[in-house]
Structure 1
Amino acid sequence: MKLFNFSEPIEFEGLIPGTYNRWGNDALIFRINKGTGKLSTKYGTDKSGDTYGFLLLDNKPLINSYGEELYCPTCAKILSIGLGREQVDPSIVDTIKYSQELNNDLAYAFENVKPMLSILEDGYYLLTRIKMIPTDGDGNFFWNLSDSKKLYKATADVYYKFHISSGTPKFILPSQGVNCLNEERVNYYLDQIKNGKTMTGLAYYYEGFMSTLLDGHHRATAAYIENKSIDCLTIIKVTGFGFNQDKKLDKIYAGGEIYDLNLFSKPERIHGYLKKIFDSKRSKLTTNEVEQILKDCSNVWSHETIPTGYDFGKRNYPDYLSIAFSDMAGDVSDERVCEVMGRRDDDAEFELEMIYKILQLQAPDKAFELSKKIINDANWKVLIEEAFRYLASIDSTEVEDIFIKYLIDSEYDPKDICRKIADEYLNNR
């Protein structure tokens, strides 16, 4: 007797309201049964015992990752471009290219994208819309992934002062080499942006803060040039499930989020199918398969450089730490600041630091006022150096007065970092 009788290869399971997602939009959860598995993540070791991970499309690697860090959620990953989407069967690429369409109705988008979803491997997935930042998480142009190995800090969760921020899908990796960049296409989309059009794409969540862009490279390039985001219809795989203290299934994990199974009408069905999929160990590659992938890559790899027809220097985007700190900070209202400053415990110290970091990025005027409160409150000397460093980045007579007053009122101490910051600031005025 079969445990479950699934009649549809792609089946809607439920809707997760945007309030449960850090990216703020609704997510639709669905199940793939008897998918082709042409888009999947696989792991294995070569003959030397070195560990590799591959994001595969039609058995061709889009992205390669290296080392034991693959199994560490807070370890940054070393990545390189694989064979790229250009090496894949064109019919599969066409399925990807024509599957996404900007539409506010997620249910409509789900129906429209179904032809593409059939290439996924069996399991549960989320479908959602996320405004992606077209960088590598450190402010660099997203299409800078080459065949040379490179450490991507944004591929890991952030561990800071004994607190962990799970990765939020926010940045993108390319799925094809930069040699595919077509300047005419970029110029076409630049004109569209100037006419008010939003750039769109199709992405598949990778790890940490990173997703792989399956379609929309030229739109994302135009968005980067104009310092815009790209609205990505994003596929996120459910990667695990958890139990409560009574060993009863109560949660699933996807895209850095933890979802209570009470959100869904048939939690036992989700658990049973996930367990079946995870027990199958389909993600494991044999040594010979790993060796063949590496051989295929070595036969076509050629070092690529980014075309120089555009300025691809760093833009004014948040980096992965800013996103992580924003997630950790939560509410940054004036009321929250007052409440936190009124407490004196380790949690309050961490909370105020996170709030302060985010205000520096999102509300400089409020950050300036909070800097003065920190400096003038003896209970918050733990953050005074950070306040001085932030103020020193502002060209202002008020900052000058604050620093002069500090130098006059404080006793001389050669180890006082704040005094050194104030001296340097005043000497450069």
Structure 2
Amino acid sequence: MLFKKDEKNLSVEIIDIKLDTSDVPSIKEARLVHINGKAKLVKDMGKYDDNYTSPYQIKLNNIPIVQAKIPECSTCCSLLATGYGIENTNCEDLLAIQESINSNYISLEKSIRDIEPLLTLFETGFYLIADAICYPTDGDKNFFWNIPNKLEKENYFEYIYGQPVYLYPTQTTDSYDKNRVEYYIDKFAELDDSSPRTIVYNFTDYINFVIDGHHKACASALLGEPLRCILIIPAIVTKYYNVLEEKNEIYLDFSSIKVSKTDIPEKYLSFVKEKRFKSKQKDITIKDGNVNNREWEKEYLDSVKNYINLYNYAKIIDILRKEKINNDNNLMEEYLSNFDLVSQNKIKKIIYKLKLFDREKSEA
């Protein structure tokens, strides 16, 4: 889905179609956009080695900000490492949006407009942009900013495919500022759901990397609360064979969210093409990153206990997917007034959902 255009034609167009995000409960609202971009923030994949893993880097201005080794087997474990610090990319477009992304949240559409200079750094193509909830942890045992600089195993469980809720840093810890964290703690308490958002990009499956907002994530960790984010998910064009109609159907695939080609407005149809990775012929060397360079305080290390881990998150998502449940107060009162098995099961699912995204209400 790449083509070259003069930078004068850079654009971010919001496409007015209905999206079904019900399989990703962490997403509150989402919009489909088409970006005509500079391809300054790109994925770079090298050729497979003898172990059938491919070196992989996400680069901004040719500086790796996330590194990995991705196996050929889609259900096998990957290796993940930090990059060289997003602040070292000399990206003027990130600096240009600092004021707007640190201001109070008003709406998703306004946020999309505010971060247009950032969005046009991406490769041309389709993206889903969402107002979503994430957790400042890697989903296992680590506070999100306290992760290894060397390649380490990440368990990409197949059954949590498409649940982008955990975080990975890109900024070096040299930039950590305690006063900035305290500022956001006060801001979150004051503004609640109107709080400034963290900007994150979906790396794969359940891991997002933080483009901007590391101190916001620190503040959420100390508060033990979910982190409000603007989540960016790139599209993968996929084909599915419809056995009943004996034909291929083409979709834009955003993890667990799919958009049929038949729903895409005609003016964008020429861009719905499968992307070919010619870059797999490259020789890419993965070196140790330099993001995590400090001894984190115990309060940060212990903050992981406030968030559900990957394994239990997957179990809850599996339960929620089997039956869609709304957190309506009247429905809750109705279920609580009955003691039959069906009502008890529904209450259990509501509590699970609240536990993920509204812990205060779940403990009331």
- TM-score, L = length of structure 2: 0.76
Residue matched to 1:55: 58
Residue matched to 2:169: 174
- Matched residue of 2:142: which SS? coil
Distance 1:99 1:286 in 2: 38
The letter for the 2-side match of 1:224 is A
Residue matched to 1:326: 316
Question: Any stretches of 5+ residues in structure 1 without a counterpart?
Answer: 159-163, 342-351, 365-429
Shift of 1:209: 0.8
Residue matched to 2:258: 258
Shift of 1:208: 1.4
Distance 1:260 1:218, change over 3 A: same
Distance 2:105 2:225 in 1: 19
- Matched residue of 2:43: which SS? strand
Checking the alignment, whether the CA contact within 8 Å between 1:146 and 1:177 is kept in structure 2 is no
- Residue by residue over 1:307-326, the C-alpha shift from the partner in whole angstroms, topping out at 9 and shown as x without a partner, is 33744213321122233222
Residue matched to 2:330: none
5 Å matches for 1:11-410?
A: 11-17=13-19, 19-20=21-22, 22=24, 23-33=26-36, 35-45=37-47, 51-66=54-69, 68-69=70-71, 71-95=72-96, 97-98=98-99, 100=101, 102-153=104-155, 156-158=156-158, 164-197=159-192, 198=195, 200-245=197-242, 246-266=246-266, 269-270=268-269, 272-275=270-273, 278-279=275-276, 281=277, 283-284=279-280, 286-287=282-283, 290-291=284-285, 294=286, 297=287, 301=290, 304-308=293-297, 310-313=299-302, 314-330=304-320, 331=323, 338=341
Distance 1:239 1:327 in 2: 23
Distance 2:87 2:217 in 1: 18
Checking the alignment, whether the CA contact within 8 Å between 1:18 and 1:26 is kept in structure 2 is no
Question: Any stretches of 5+ residues in structure 2 without a counterpart?
Answer: 326-334, 356-364
- Matched residue of 2:34: which SS? strand
Checking the alignment, whether the CA contact within 8 Å between 1:40 and 1:121 is kept in structure 2 is yes
Shift of 1:244: 3.4
Distance 1:126 1:168 in 2: 14
Distance 2:271 2:354 in 1: 46
- Residue by residue over 1:258-287, the C-alpha shift from the partner in whole angstroms, topping out at 9 and shown as x without a partner, is 333444333x944x4132x614x3554621
- Matched residue of 2:216: which SS? helix
The letter for the 2-side match of 1:327 is I
Q: CA RMSD in A?
A: 3.6
- Larger radius of gyration between Structure 1 and Structure 2: 1
Question: Which structure has the higher relative contact order (CA within 8 Å, separation 6+)?
Answer: 2
- Residue by residue over 1:355-398, the C-alpha shift from the partner in whole angstroms, topping out at 9 and shown as x without a partner, is 9996885689xxxxxxxxxxxxxxxxxxxxxxxxxxxxxxxxxx
Checking the alignment, whether the CA contact within 8 Å between 1:147 and 1:302 is kept in structure 2 is yes
Shift of 1:189: 1.9
The letter for the 2-side match of 1:170 is V
Distance 1:48 1:94 in 2: 41
- Matched residue of 1:244: which SS? strand
Identity %: 20
Distance 1:363 1:31, change over 3 A: closer
- Residue by residue over 1:242-264, the C-alpha shift from the partner in whole angstroms, topping out at 9 and shown as x without a partner, is 23323333422113323334443
Checking the alignment, whether the CA contact within 8 Å between 1:325 and 1:357 is kept in structure 2 is no
Checking the alignment, whether the CA contact within 8 Å between 1:85 and 1:93 is kept in structure 2 is no
- Matched residue of 1:94: which SS? helix
Residue matched to 2:332: none
